[in-house]
Amino acid sequence: MRLVGHTHRPPQAREEHVPLAAGQETLWELMRALAPSDPGAARLPVVDFRLLSGELEPAALEGALGDLIHRHHALRTVFASADDEPVLHVRPEGQVPLHHVDLSGLPPAERSRQLDALVHRERFAVFDLARGPLWRVHLVRTSAHEYLAAVSFYHVISDGWACSVFFEDWMHAYRARLGQRAPQEHLDVSLRDAADQQRADLPVSAAHDAYWRARLLPLPTRPVFPPRVRSPEADLTAEVALPFSFDDSTVGALREVAWRARTTPFLALLAAYHVLLCHLTRRERLVAGTTTLGRGAGVWRRVVSQFTNNVYLEIPTSGASSFLDAVRATHATMAEAVAHTSSFGRIARAVRPSFDRERPWPFLNLFDYWFQSAAPAAPDLSHPELSVRQVGPGGQGALDTEAPLLRAREVGDSLPVWARRGVPLVIVDDDRRGGVLVYNRDVYDTGMVAELAETYRWFVTAVVTEPERTLRDVLAALPGSARLE
């Protein structure tokens, strides 16, 4: 390999102080509610993992991270202040937070245990907001020619989409340092540029405020999933993912229903979950929370930053209607909500006049349940000496072998927020062939979540197979006696 000393960099990196962008407000308010005295300890990063197989040049890999720090302003960002309305400081330079870990010489069982422990820690990483960096990479050697690259970002500076941008740019810079391709052109997009673009995409109007008041009031008062923190020793990081999947016949029927309703399979799956939860809770009204990409076309899809926008859906349901009707209603509700997308602060003040006096007041107060799509699956990257493949996070094995990272007794008055953070939520796979129910097993009953997953799988199959049958008839045939109250 030919190791090149450097790649193209701009003559001088920009330094700036900027307020939060609209897409960052939601997460910041939640971080402050989880850890009021130190939001960097909210343990809510965005993480991603890649398996690197082949010959690796560590010096070039580390140098390539330095190139990324100059390319993406978020990687040089720290907090100049950390109050209700914080100020972000983009430094002109930044350090490379790369940590090398060699597990290749360990017996398989011990290597697996240590890898699980490391992954679990990174899934709940803590960051120093004032000193930074607000991200880090662990390069874990697991055999002679295989490494796991684990990247963790403070969620305020990065969303799930940005993880793929990070890895693609990292591998591009790495190959440039090896002389295998030309360096990337300079990306002249600052944090202020991103914030200005988000504000331009979210017009402020009294009509938007009125829309959210009409859809979200009254705010939820009874949890769909009542938390049960039975011990002060409960592990608040005992987050697990329970998978569910649909067979080929169901997936085909789901796509057909979505096509007939002129919508997406994702919204059809959301419609089914909404109808089922209304039935299981015996409620006529529930508000769903979900998220949108928040990125326009072009350069905005190549920036490491936090762009996602949340929307909240009051979906009308009726037992006398068909599933096809429910899917169309969900599509119409989503389109209307997206058209009225507003920043979290704007929505919160519209529906909660006392918001500024009560802060932190997180977005968890706006919805009854959460349902979202996984980030698009990252493509495999193949290079002459190295292949790069996205892998699942894992780490759940550490819950049975390692001490809790955070116990209920350690969070004081923030415990109700932590309990709601661990509430069962649905993340649908990018290919819509299944998904996971993610929840905290020390706060919510595993048997209840498992029954819900199986009931949902059955219900989706039933309604997409007979989409014109009344929902009342389908629900009458629901197996078992599942109830969430």
Q: What is the CATH number of the domain that holds 420?
A: 3.30.559.30
The answer on 143 and 126 residing in a single domain is yes
Q: Considering the domain boundaries, does residue 310 fall inside one?
A: yes
Has residue 12 got a pLDDT over 80?
Answer: no
Q: Considering the domain boundaries, does residue 367 fall inside one?
A: yes
The answer on 61 and 190 residing in a single domain is yes
Last residue within a domain, chosen from 142, 165, 198: 198
Least confident of 9-13, 283-287, 455-459: 9-13
Q: Considering the domain boundaries, does residue 409 fall inside one?
A: yes
Last residue within a domain, chosen from 198, 220, 241: 198
The answer on 54 and 30 residing in a single domain is yes
- Determine the Cα angle at 372 with ends 369 and 376, to 5°: 170
Q: Considering the domain boundaries, does residue 107 fall inside one?
A: yes
The answer on 148 and 237 residing in a single domain is no
Has residue 42 got a pLDDT over 60?
Answer: yes
Has residue 210 got a pLDDT over 50?
Answer: yes
What percent of the chain has pLDDT above 70?
Answer: 96
Residues 174-181 have a mean pLDDT of 94
Task: Provide the domain limits for residue 445.
Answer: 205-378+402-476
Q: Considering the domain boundaries, does residue 40 fall inside one?
A: yes
**191 vs 466: which has the higher pLDDT:** 466
The answer on 148 and 86 residing in a single domain is yes
Domain of residue 51, CATH code: 3.30.559.10
**201 vs 481: which has the higher pLDDT:** 201
Q: How confident is the model at residue 2 (pLDDT cuts 50, 70, 90)?
A: very low
The answer on 426 and 306 residing in a single domain is yes
> For the whole model, what pTM was predicted?
0.94
Q: From its phi and psi, is residue 206 left (phi > 0), alpha (psi between -120 and 50) or beta?
A: alpha
The pLDDT mean for the chain works out to 93
The answer on 227 and 194 residing in a single domain is no
Last residue within a domain, chosen from 174, 198, 222: 198
pLDDT in tens, 102-159: 999 999 999 999 999 999 999 999 999 999 999 999 999 999 999 999 999 999 999 9
pLDDT value at residue 13: 60
Has residue 484 got a pLDDT over 70?
Answer: no
As to burial, measured by CB atoms within 10 angstroms (0-12 exposed, 13-18 middle, 19+ buried), residue 112 is: middle
The answer on 233 and 299 residing in a single domain is yes
The answer on 220 and 182 residing in a single domain is no
pLDDT in tens, 48-61: 999 999 999 999 99
Q: How confident is the model at residue 4 (pLDDT cuts 50, 70, 90)?
A: very low
**15 vs 71: which has the higher pLDDT:** 71
pLDDT value at residue 3: 40
Q: Considering the domain boundaries, does residue 468 fall inside one?
A: yes
Q: How confident is the model at residue 381 (pLDDT cuts 50, 70, 90)?
A: confident
Per the structure, the count of domains in the chain is: 2
pLDDT value at residue 421: 96
- Integer angstrom CA distances of residue 444 from 310, 412, 421: 24, 19, 11
pLDDT value at residue 480: 72
Least confident of 62-71, 266-275, 330-339, 379-388: 379-388
Taking the alpha carbons of 87, 88, 92, 95 in that order, is the dihedral positive or negative? positive
User: At 305, is the secondary structure helix, strand, or coil?
Assistant: coil
The answer on 237 and 168 residing in a single domain is no
The answer on 364 and 229 residing in a single domain is yes
User: At 285, is the secondary structure helix, strand, or coil?
Assistant: coil
The answer on 244 and 153 residing in a single domain is no
Q: Considering the domain boundaries, does residue 384 fall inside one?
A: no
Contacts for 53 with CB less than 8 Å, ≥ 6 apart? 145, 146, 147, 386, 387, 388, 389
Q: Considering the domain boundaries, does residue 397 fall inside one?
A: no
pLDDT in tens, 414-434: 999 999 999 999 999 999 999
Has residue 378 got a pLDDT over 50?
Answer: yes
Tell me the C-alpha distance between 327 and 311, whole Å: 17
